[in-house]
């Protein structure tokens, strides 16, 4: 007789590294909720907590790979989990935090959406080409384009701005009106980050 599957049997099959990956996603989701809470109640403390969760997600993201190599438990499922968690923590969450900080103009929405789209595209390309980029040792030796966790730099910039009270109407570089929509020049750092992620010519050695 075929062995009956129990509820949550998928979780029982997770490797230790996968739990660190889920912790990464948990932090990213928490950051998004913190941004929402700030917009609802206006407490800057909530915003700062949300930003602090992104470096923590970065730590979990770094640890899961090391644990997988240590236990020799790398898998296709783990790679897909890692990408999905990264989309949340280093794609959607930074964009949500930026919006909460004041990048709320129509053109800002376009740029932030472009940033998230580039992050998703970057991770999808990596998953598809990982085997092609790996050498004889079966390890990817370089990244094509900047890895999506580099968006941590954007969050650090936003954290400094929030700490100095430079959010909302006091956002650095101000605001200009372009046609029917508002545009905050600070959002261009997200445009640059997204463009670097999808670059085909930029190659960065993978540690």
Q: For 48-71, how does the pLDDT look when each residue is reduced to its tens digit (9 = 90+)? A: 999 999 999 999 988 866 665 655
Domain spanning 14-205: CATH 3.40.50.2300: no
| DSSP category for residue 138 | S
Q: For the segment 125-182, what is each residue's pLDDT rounded down to a tens digit?
A: 887 876 565 554 555 666 778 999 999 999 999 999 999 999 999 999 999 999 999 9
Reported pTM: 0.86
> Burial level of 53, CB count in 10 A (0-12/13-18/19+)?
buried
- Among 92, 36, 35, 88, residue whose Cα is nearest residue 57: 88
Measure the CA–CA gap between 90 and 66, rounded to whole angstroms: 19
CA dihedral sign of residues 96, 80, 13, 6:
positive
Nearby residues of 57 by Cβ (< 8 Å), 6 or more positions away: 23, 24, 25, 27, 28, 31, 85, 89, 90, 93
């Amino acid at each position: 007789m075929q062995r009956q599957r129990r509820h949550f049997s998928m979780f029982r099959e997770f490797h230790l590294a996968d739990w660190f990956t889920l912790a990464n996603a948990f932090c990213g989701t928490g950051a998004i909720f913190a941004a929402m809470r700030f917009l609802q109640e206006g407490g800057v403390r909530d915003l700062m907590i949300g930003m602090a969760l992104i470096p923590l997600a970065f730590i979990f993201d770094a640890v899961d790979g090391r644990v997988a190599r240590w236990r020799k438990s790398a898998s296709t499922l783990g790679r897909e989990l890692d990408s999905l968690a990264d989309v949340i923590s280093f794609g959607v969450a930074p964009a949500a935090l930026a919006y909460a900080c004041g990048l709320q103009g129509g053109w800002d929405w376009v740029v932030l959406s472009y940033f998230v789209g580039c992050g998703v595209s970057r991770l999808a390309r990596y998953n598809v080409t990982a085997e092609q980029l790996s050498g004889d040792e079966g390890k990817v030796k370089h990244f094509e384009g900047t890895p999506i966790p580099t968006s941590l730099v954007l969050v650090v910039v936003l954290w400094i701005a929030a700490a100095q009270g430079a959010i909302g109407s006091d956002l650095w570089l101000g605001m200009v009106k372009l046609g029917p929509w508002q545009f905050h020049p600070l959002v261009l750092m997200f445009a640059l980050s997204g463009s670097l992620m999808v670059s085909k010519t930029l190659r960065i050695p993978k540690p």
